[in-house]
Amino acid sequence: GFTNSFHNIFNTFSQSQPEIQFNTLHLDEASVCYGTHIDSILLNYVQKYHAQVIIFSLIAGSSFNPSFECYRKLRELGIYLCFIWHDTGPGWGMTTIHELEPYANLHVSWDNPRSPWHDSLPRAANHMRLWTPEDLTLFYPPVQKDITASFVGSYDRYVDRPTFVQA
């Protein structure tokens, strides 16, 4: 099925920049569909389609992610590398942002956290903290729909939620 990135990245980007053509290549797709690691096809893929920019949404701690050597080769080709981060809490994301410093042109995180931990981190000049982009058609489709209530989250995790759902 579609990932969160479809409406957050692809649909929002195509709505805000309709004149720009883009292709998608999923990191796990290389393994599942092509039977190889993304490193083996990404360089050929970007040369075939004359890519100038790659927007990465990495999979936390996954072997499906490109290698640092692949990023280095992409940069040598003059390709602009942008990394999208859904969560910059302690752990993998923030560690990887710093590890990618020699390769990344831009990091964009979709959370805008404020905490003593976040405030103590060194701020990379190429790291933008923004709000999550939203596809305009996700909640306001062209066809009017009656949605009296929308409840997102675990139903039984909190005592008050079943009460609210039945109200």
Structure tokens at 130: 């923004």
Which tens digits make up the pLDDT trace of 17-37?
889 888 888 888 888 888 999
Cα 110 from Cα 69, distance rounded (Å):
26
The SS3 of residue 163 is helix
Cα 68 from Cα 74, distance rounded (Å):
10
Question: What pLDDT is attached to residue 2?
Answer: 61
Cα 22 from Cα 11, distance rounded (Å):
11
Q: pTM, whole model, 2 decimals?
A: 0.76
Structure tokens at 10: 């692809």
Question: Taking 80 as the threshold, does the pLDDT of residue 123 lie above it?
Answer: no
